[in-house]
Amino acid sequence: MSSSQGSKMCCPQARRHARSRRRLLVLLLPVWFGWSAETARAEEKYELPGAVSPRATASRRIERADPHGRLDASITLGVRQQDELEALLAAQQQPGLPQYHRWLSPQEFAERFAPPAEQYEALAQWLEHQGFAVQRWENRLRVDFSGTVGRLERTFGVRMNYYRHASRTDVANENAPLLPIEFADSVEFMRLNTFPLAKPLVRVLTASGAV
């Protein structure tokens, strides 16, 4: 038998072995790298709408923010039973009703209207795992966190810039942040900027002057 005939006979078998090795490699990759369906879903993210400040889009962008600078940020979660909450708020202002001026404690409010405790804690722990310093609130409607600008950019896939706004320089995100899909039903808003909050409509006067 010539060498060329032998190589032709061996080629189909060699190709089968090569295909088997490729299939084995594909099967072993998730094991080697710790991949799983749960891991893939945990890494799936969505874009949070409404998290880019209108002040950023209306202000003059100066340059990219210092990645080593620190920023205080927050995430606001949505309430449950919105209709029931609105009815309670109206009843608390109506003289003669049993609920009149009967205010809820933070714990009572959280029990009735806040996201479940395990959902809130999952968000807080996820932020901690990303390296942020986290502050929790009893009403479970907000999580405050802080970290470097660079960490914010890496975690949420945003670009942070300096903006010139109303004679001051502020830091803000240019694009919408990305969050794990597991928080899509609970997170309502995220603040990633240093723009001043809205000015109060009422000023309280004291003996020493306005507060």
Instruction: Kindly report which listed range (109-118, 167-176, 180-189) carries the lowest average pLDDT score.
Output: 109-118
Average predicted confidence (pLDDT) for the chain = 81
Give the other-Cβ count within 10 Å of 157's Cβ.
15
Instruction: Determine the pLDDT at residue 207.
Output: 55
Higher pLDDT among residues 24 and 89, named by residue: 89
Instruction: Determine the pLDDT at residue 18.
Output: 52
Q: What is the pLDDT of residues 104-145, one digit of tens each?
A: 888 887 888 878 999 999 999 999 999 999 999 999 999 999
Vertex 73 angle, CA 67 and 76, to 5° = 145
State how far the Cα of 53 lies from the Cα of 149, in Å rounded to an integer: 17
Model confidence at 15, pLDDT cuts 50, 70, 90, reads low
State how far the Cα of 39 lies from the Cα of 34, in Å rounded to an integer: 8
Cβ pair 160, 173 in contact under 8 A: yes
Burial 23-48 (b: 16+ CB within 10 A, else e): eeeeeeeeeeeeeeeeeeeeeebeeb
Instruction: Determine the pLDDT at residue 70.
Output: 97
Higher pLDDT among residues 103 and 12, named by residue: 103
Higher pLDDT among residues 135 and 30, named by residue: 135
* Amino acid found at 170: D
**Mean pLDDT along residues 190-194:** 97
State how far the Cα of 57 lies from the Cα of 63, in Å rounded to an integer: 14
Task: List, in sequence order, every residue forming a beta bridge with 209; answer none if it has no partner.
Answer: 206
Residue 183, pLDDT > 90, answer yes
